[in-house]
Chains A and B, each alone.
Chain A
Amino acid sequence: MSTHNVNPNGDEHAVVPHGEHAVVPADPIADPGLHHDELRLTDVDDKAERRAERQVAGMFTLASLLTVAFIVFYVVVGIHPDNPENGVNIGDVQVSNLTLGLTLGLALFLLGAGAVQWARSLMTSPEVVHQRHELRSDDETRAATIADFDTGTEETGFGRRKLIRNSLLGALALLPLPAVIMLRDLGPNTGGTPAQRKEHTIWAEGVRVLTDVTFMPIRAADLEIGQLVNAMPATFEALPEHGPERINERAKSPVMLVRMLPEDIHVEPGRENWGVDGILAYSKICTHVGCPISLYEQTTHHMLCPCHQSTFDLSDNGKVIFGPAARSLPQLPIAVDSEGYLIAQSDFTEPVGPSYWERTR
């Protein structure tokens, strides 16, 4: 099969003028035929050959040593603390990671480099040329295949027996349905449609506004002008530790309390009583795709979402002033209870978070 001498004319790939293509002029330079690789230094110089042999064997030996070293480091460099009370020492973990990784990585690398060097400098295989063959089967084979297929179809009578064919196709077409329908219970069966579940949070009339993390009630006087406080509803604390409810509310109910100079605030009609002495509460969930918003610029009252840089003006009803979000941040109407703590007047008046189809205007 292998041959070194290819067609000396070498122009067998020249474009055959075909179909609608214009007539193509012949190639200017004839194919001089396969160029033989020059001999390597290792082919002619015994010393070089022995040196290459030593290099390859050296790399393989080093790889063995490094593999042994890996095992040694695995045993010697511990990460488990003597006293479990103390916890792990990050430094130990990093030393373990580094020593194990360097020994294993270098062992693998040297094994590979040795093999490549062996192939490049010592293996003696010449350049081989194989002919390609057209991939298409010859006409005879194609005709025979089609004839076989026709025979088979004829034998089943698939074309003639329309009743069998159609009832079979009907049955096969229905078969995927159970597979699809069985996925129904991936979603819950109670609690209304997915959209209905999105409409409410656990905020409600009289629910106290608590600081996030510490869950302390907040008095209006606790907030200074320019300050921003992340807050949660008091009803959140009562949610069970286990189960999805708590984390789901964590994704829906967080608000940001901000206090501004009352004269800086531009209030939309209908929202005159939603704040307390310049304190406003906005949903923390971005109306773009739902990231929690977190970068507040005190002087401009701008609130930036770190995910996609939607920017909202908290002094102007949470309106979008830059970025991909298309809707204002929902505002939570707040008031003060008899003990002077901030409470919600009601739930949000619109669903929080990203837009969805059922969310009417």
Chain B
Amino acid sequence: MSAIVNSAGKVVDFVDQRITASNWLKRNIRKVFPDHWSFLLGEIALFSFIMILLSGVFLTLWFKPTMAHVVYEGAYLPMRGVGMSEAYSSTLEISFEVRGGLLMRQVHHWGALIFVAAMSAHMLRVFFTGAFRKPREINWLIGVVLLVLAVAAGFTGYSLPDDLLSGTGLRIIEGGMLAIPIVGTYMSSFLFGGEYPGDDIIARLYPVHILLVPGLIIALVTAHLMILWYQKHTHWGGPGKTNNNVAGAPFFPIYVAKAGGFQFIVMGVIVLLAATIQINPVWLWGPYDPSVVSAGTQPDWYVGFLDGALRVMPAWEFYIFDHPVSMSVLIPAILLPGIILTPLALYPWLEQKATGDTREHHLLDRPRNVPVRTGIGVAFIVFYVLLWIAGGNDFFATILEIPVNWITWFIRIGIFVLPPLAFIMTKRICMGLQRRDRDKVMHGRETGIVMVSPDGEFSELHAPLSQAQAYQLTWHERQLPSDPGPATDANGIPNPNYRAKRAQARLSRFYFGDVVQKPTVQELEAAHHDGHGGSDSARDELPSGQQ
């Protein structure tokens, strides 16, 4: 053990004499990292990304990013003599002539699916707990860009093997591009080097997939982590855990061991998935042929919502001066991503506008304590999932044994009806949970013991909460809607900012108007003396504020 410490000491000494490293290390080596399962989601994204980089480098050693025409003479018999691109033939080579090649291909693909899924889950966690609030808006924005880049990485990668599915995906991209007014045909012509599909696209997607996009992802992930490190992680409130401190395990050794270990666990799970569950067996689909499509095939999950939107959009095309404008393609393929991403990226500022809250927040919100935000989040999830179902409408039609048109119509109507419904239901559920918390704080926990008084009155015995338990339910901020103030001052002079303030107050009321507030000190006092079962609370015997 001391040998390790000695050699580590030598390294530190070497570095310190050159860049004063000890100064920085002293402040950071025991940096606090709070612990909660939901904080692991971002780590899963990071670790699966590392796995993707490693497996991706392995794949580049064999993959040939060219659409040059070859006649396959490789080891896979069913394809021998078939004309195909070198991209597809080298993919077959990796699968069948390189030991571990198929495993790495599947690791790469599974890793990509998990990467985007973990990022999405991480983003939902950050949203629902309010971790995007000041001072973390920049990291939220970086996160949104990272999500877009991850989807771009996934889609370009999906296109590279030049099998039947990847070509069909590109064809749909081309169709979407053609719908863009005025420049559509030119964009498509520049991308594909002429007519679709041409023989340039694989060579052009390749540098985007292995250099440009991953380079940007690495740069932004670095910035994301540096900001996180500098700002310190958010944490949940609780006894001793406040907005002004951070409580948890030290970076070295606990966090290093746990996160380092978790890194290997994530990698291990991805490899086990790749070993046992086959994904995208491109040798079954065959090389890309623009005149063939196999029914029932699905894109990777994160593209599903876009494909679903394309499916359920009703036919709508009109002409401007004899030029067609295909809204049935423009809306789902071009406008929808913008409609989703813009409010997503701007949400921290939108909420700031509504609540008028510009303070620093380091304590997370329990989703129930911000019913409106939670409602918005769930409404968005419902919207997204509906489009996702639409993307598999043929699949659902098959398993439910109903016409595919019914599902399309269900989505067409549901997309407008169900998200608002989800918002209202979620908000009510949150308020119900808040009310339960409030009751617990005021009257204690229900014990299930029913007492009969000599007068024959039945009542349930409530057990008081400990101070720590009660604090656990009340540490959150009391959020009140802002008050616009009087329209005119005491002298009857109109306030010039009144209209703006009133508008802000309305938004604030939308956010906080229905929040079920935690009890005040007076309410709590009153509850303890109103003759409920738990009124002879142990809390009364506590010295105030101490345990």
Contact = CB atoms under 8 A, between A and B. Distances in A.
B57 interface: no
22 contacts: A6-B242, A29-B441, A32-B239, A33-B239, A77-B99, A79-B99, A80-B75, A93-B95, A98-B275, A115-B258, A116-B261, A119-B261, A130-B31, A130-B32, A132-B245, A230-B291, A244-B67, A244-B197, A247-B199, A288-B329, A324-B315, A324-B329
B75 A289 contact: no
A162 interface: no
Nearest to B324: A355
Which residue, B185, B312, B468, B546, has most C-beta atoms of chain A within 10 A?
B185
A132 B360 CA distance: 11
A30 B545 contact: yes
Contact of B272 (A101, A113, A193, A360): A101
B290 interface: yes
Contacts of B196: 248, 251, 290
Given A24-B478, A132-B245, A251-B290, A290 B175 contact: yes
A197 B194 contact: yes
Interface string A220-237: 000000000010100000
Chain A contact residues, majority secondary structure: loop
A323 B347 CA distance: 34
A112 interface: yes
Interface of B: 30-32, 67-69, 75-77, 80, 83, 95-97, 99-100, 102-103, 106, 135, 168, 171-172, 174-176, 178-186, 188-191, 193-200, 204, 231-232, 237-250, 253-254, 257-258, 260-272, 274-276, 289-297, 307, 310-317, 319, 322-326, 328-329, 332-333, 356, 359-360, 362-363, 393-394, 404-405, 408, 441, 467-468, 470-471, 474-475, 477-478, 480-485, 501, 505, 518-521, 523-524, 544-547
Contacts, number: 423
Contact of B393 (A111, A252, A288, A309): A309
Residue among A108, A120, A191, A230 with the most chain B CB within 10 A? A108
Closest A-B pairs by Cβ, 4 of them:
A101-B275, A289-B175, A34-B240, A109-B268
Given A29-B471, A100-B99, A132 B232 contact: yes
Interface string A120-134: 100101011111101
B77 A357 contact: no
A219 interface: no
A27 B239 contact: no
A183 interface: yes
B175 A30 contact: no
B270 to A, nearest CB: 8
Interface stretch (A9-17, A168-176, A203-211, A268-276): A9-17
B474 A134 contact: no
A29 B238 CA distance: 11
Interface in A30-83: 30-35, 74, 77-81
A198 B483 CA distance: 62
Contact of A12 (B183, B244, B268, B524): B244
Interface stretch (A139-147, A259-267, A291-299): A291-299
A61 B275 CA distance: 22
Contacts of B332: 324
A33 B179 contact: no
Contacts of A183: 190
A18 interface: yes
B519 A28 contact: yes
A88 B393 CA distance: 37
Contacts of A2: 30, 250
Nearest to B272: A105
Interface residues of A, number: 124
Given A15-B478, A98-B276, A248 B291 contact: no
A135 B360 CA distance: 9
Contacts of A6: 240, 242, 245
A232 B292 CA distance: 13
A254 interface: yes
Contacts of B317: 326-327, 355
B362 A112 contact: no
B471 A326 contact: no
A160 interface: no
